[in-house]
Amino acid sequence: MDLAQLTAQVPELLQGLRGCGGAGFPTEFKWQAVRRELGAAANKIILCNADEAEPGTFKDAWLLGGVEARTVIRGMIYAAHFCGAARGWIYLRAEYSAQREHLQQVIAKMEAEGLLSAGSGEISYGAGFPGRKIEAHNGGASDAELSTLDWHLKHGAITAIEPQQVDEIGGPGPKQHCGEIEAATSTGLKFQLGICVSGGAYICGEETALLESMEGRRPQPRHKPPFPTQSGLWGLPTLINNVETFWWAARRLEGSADDFSRRLYSVSGCVQKPGVYEAPLGITARKLIDDHADGLLPGATVSCFTPGGAATGILPPQLLDLPLTQDDLRAQGSSLGTCGLIVHQISPQKAAAKIMRFFAQESCSQCTPCRQGCAVFADWLDGKLQWNDPEVHADWLHAMTAGSICGLGQAAPMTIKMLERF
């Protein structure tokens, strides 16, 4: 793979790819933003968000636990090459011990093949990462300066790619795919990849809470701006993408995916064959159940379903034939989320109560509307609380949506609104 060829092709080939972790942000925009940040490669970071804690979602576990792990890592290498970054980490869910062992084996093999720099595969665990004291603020060097010093002390300045002036990206260029990535020795690429084990909180899946966790602090979302592409890990420009996002990026750049008209769906609940299935965007829940998951369990009846993970709420069985697209789901007050389809046979109120109780337990407690609102609505659904004034009920929902920093508090009211609507 030639670096100039990759630079010319990425903007075009990645158009249409949106993040697969739930937010759906354009991938190409993030890659471009980090590339445009000037500086040495040691001062740019590539992170793969593998803290998959969304109930009903397990596609990332499947990708990282088998042969596709190598494809995910190749996607990170392409991103590093394009953005001009020399180091990165897979931020892995703490419970994924089998995936962690498998990743270490895959990384070791890729290092031996020259695809990753020496020293790849190191495991880090949260606080003090990577080896410095927590909150290293002593009035001297900044976190960014200290992290850069760590890098040069450990690897030597000669291993870092020199700062490069970045011109406007895009323009005419070859339209063929990049093909399989070559060894680092033939491309000049030096990318070291490690694994950072998550702190175990649901909120760590939010990209800025993830950064706080890696820096050894309580995982709570940051206010934006600045965005991670400008000031991420240790204040350095940081690209953060989901596991599936890197997987699709690699497949597209290598020519094994013609476009981004398909997604990976996690299907669970009262179906005969729960699992991860690749299917077209816009497929219906009914087709996923019947054509991929071998239908419902004997005697089961669908009471409601969650279209894209717990944060996307619940929909009634009358909408099983609704195309699972962002626009169609938005019209119903939901979203595509992580494409985690959960088929329920318990009552809609019980399903909603389980979702809200989960959010109440996993709220990072930074925002008062989220901290209190999730618990209050969980109690209401469980029959422990009554609303005497409908306006107060509506005010709580509005306060949660408008007053929460991150998607947890903003999306939680969706479940209540959908339950009341349907």
- For 353-408, write each residue's pLDDT tens digit: 999 999 999 998 899 999 999 999 999 999 898 887 888 888 999 999 998 988 88
Look at phi and psi of residue 113 and say left if phi exceeds 0, alpha if psi is from -120 to 50, else beta.
alpha
- For 158-178, write each residue's pLDDT tens digit: 333 333 333 333 322 233 344
- Does residue 144 register a pLDDT over 60? no
- For 20-34, write each residue's pLDDT tens digit: 988 888 999 999 999
CA distance 139 to 142: 8
**DSSP states along 89-155:** EEEE-TT-HHHHHHHHHHHHHHHHTTSS-TTTT-EEESTTTTTSPSS--SSSS-HHHHHHHHHHHHH
> Mean per-residue pLDDT for 78-95?
93
- For 52-81, write each residue's pLDDT tens digit: 999 999 999 999 999 999 999 999 999 999
Topology of the domain comprising 3-254: Rossmann fold (3.40.50)
Q: Which residues contact 62 (CB under 8 A, 6 or more apart)?
A: 68, 264, 276
Domain assignments of the chain as residue spans, ordered by start: 3-254, 261-345, 357-422
Among 54-68, 183-197, 242-256, 345-359, whose mean pLDDT is lowest?
A: 183-197
CATH number at 261-345 = 3.10.20.600
Residue type, 285: A
- Indicate the CATH number of 357-422 among 2.60.40.420, 3.40.50.1370, 1.20.1440.230, 3.40.50.620: 1.20.1440.230
